[in-house]
Amino acid sequence: NRTGFIFDLDGVIVDTAKYHYLAWRKLANELGFEFTQEQNELFKGVSRKRCLEILLEIGNIKASQEQFNRWLVEKNEDYLSLIEEMDESEILPDVLKVLQLLKKHNTPIALGSASKNARPILEKVNLLDYFDVIVDGTHVAKAKPDPEVFLIAAKQLGVPPKDCVVFEDAVAGIKAANNAGMLSIGIGNDKVLSEAKYVFANFTEIDHKFLNKLIALTP
Ligand code: G6P
Ligand code: MG
């Protein structure tokens, strides 16, 4: 049996959270309220639509469906202009090293992201070719912590969920991986990601030996 590797995008491969934050903060400020970095934590792994709902709850603002949709478009346009210049230099430390090692072992690799901008971002940072399968916010109906995104990825990789490893930076993403019956690996703070099977601050902390065990699915 081969191990399938599934990567979240935002916060795992690239740090786009800061751009999402700037775009949401701009909208909040336009609507007359503050939006803090701490509040932005709640937005990690959460769909664009759900983020706007939370933002409007924070600002105590009611909106018609049309207005809601206009704000969704506006936020995304601002976000897209912020990430326009993104390139390889924004790939997080040692992500490339891990992807290269997995490729060397011919390991099936998927992306499992809530973002509808996942594919263009992978193109910008020149990582598209590493992924055998891309499942993103344009393909799923149910958001993390629902396991849908990871289950679709496993299916497309042709790997049973129990033989898949998921790298995630968001609490909702770890829950989704666990709900899918996969081995969850948190990238970030171990207190925040306490539900993950393993947690590393970043990929620099994952050594060769551990990766090889994952590839053989005997961690
Ligand atoms: C990721 C990010 C979230 C973001 C979501 C949707 O999960 O962590 O912060 O809201 O993707 O991204 P999108 O690019 O579709 O607006
Ligand atoms: Mg993430």
The pLDDT tens digits of the residues spanning 17-57 come to 999 999 999 999 999 999 999 999 889 999 999 999 999 99
Residue 8's pLDDT is: 98
pLDDT band at 111 (very low <50, low <70, confident <90, very high): very high
Cα(203) to ligand 1 centroid in Å equals: 21
Contact between 141 and 35 (Cβ < 8 Å): no
117 labeled binding residue: yes
pTM for this model (two decimals):
0.95
Task: Please report the ipTM that was assigned to this predicted complex.
Answer: 0.98
Phi/psi at 168 (5° precision):
-145, 145
Residues with a known catalytic role: 8, 10
- The closest residue, in CA terms, to atom 2 on ligand 1 is 45
Ligand 1 pocket, Cβ-based, cut-off 6 angstroms: 10-11, 20, 43-48, 51, 76, 113-117, 137
